Amino acid sequence: MEIWVDEEEFKAIKRNREKGLTLLNDEEKFKLYLLSLKFKFLREKLNKLEKRLADITESYAKLKNFERRAVKDKEFLMEIRQELSLENSNLRRTLKDEGNVQKEQVYKGNN
Give residue 1's pLDDT.
Answer: 63
Three-state SS annotation for 84-107: HHHHHHHHHHHHHHHHHHHHHHHH
Classify residue 100: in a domain, yes or no. yes
- Write out the residue range of the structural domain in which residue 47 sits: 17-109
Q: Is residue 73 part of a domain?
A: yes
Q: Tell whether the torsion through CA atoms of 77, 79, 83 and 89 is positive or negative.
A: positive
Query: Is there a contact between 20 and 54 (Cβ–Cβ < 8 Å)?
Result: no
DSSP 31-78: HHHHHHHHHHHHHHHHHHHHHHHHHHHHHHHHHHHHHHHHHHHHHHHH
Confidence label for 103 from pLDDT (cuts 50, 70 and 90): low
pLDDT recorded at residue 76: 97
Number of domains in the chain: 1
| CA 73 to chain CA centroid, nearest Å | 20
pTM: 0.53
- Domain assignment present for 57: yes
pLDDT of residue 109: 62
> Is 4 among the domain residues?
no
Is 9 inside a domain boundary?
no
3 falls within a domain: no
CB 33 within 8 A of CB 39: no
28-82 pLDDT, tens digit each? 888 888 899 899 999 999 999 999 999 999 999 999 999 999 999 999 999 999 9
C-alpha to C-alpha distance for 71 and 84, rounded to whole angstroms: 20
**pLDDT at residue 85, as a whole number:** 95
